Amino acid sequence: MIDHDGEASPCPYCGALQDGAAGGLEPPAPGDLSVCCECSALSVFTGRGLERRRASGAEELEHTAEVEHVRHLIRHVRER
Ligand SMILES: [Zn+2]
């Protein structure tokens, strides 16, 4: 997993400051998904910060396994 420093943006659900990203080879781009390290809520990078995610049912199914994997990693890190 690769860590990327980024512009700090508050989680649109809990307000926790998100100032980095991990998981992809490239830094996050507008439209990429984010899982909050504090509340595990799903949001989307916009290029101007994070926004609450509005997803269609098909999109929700497409990302379920990936999102659950990231949430599992967050729980694992918290338990350390
Ligand atoms: Zn949050």
Q: Report how far ligand 1's centroid is from the alpha carbon of 58 (Å).
A: 24
Q: For residue 10, report the distance from its CA to the centre of ligand 1, in Å.
A: 8
What's the confidence (pLDDT) of residue 1? 52
Mean pLDDT by 10 residues, the chain (80 residues): 71 90 78 86 88 71 73 82
Q: What is the pLDDT of residue 2?
A: 58
Cα dihedral sign, 40-44-50-54: negative
Q: Quick one: pLDDT at residue 15?
A: 96
Model pLDDT, residue 28: 84
Q: How far is the CA of 13 from the centre of ligand 1 (A)?
A: 5
Note whether 74 and 42 are within 8 A (CB). no
Report pLDDT for 31: 85
What is the reported pTM?
0.65
* 67 CA → ligand 1 middle, Å: 14
The amino acid at 29? A
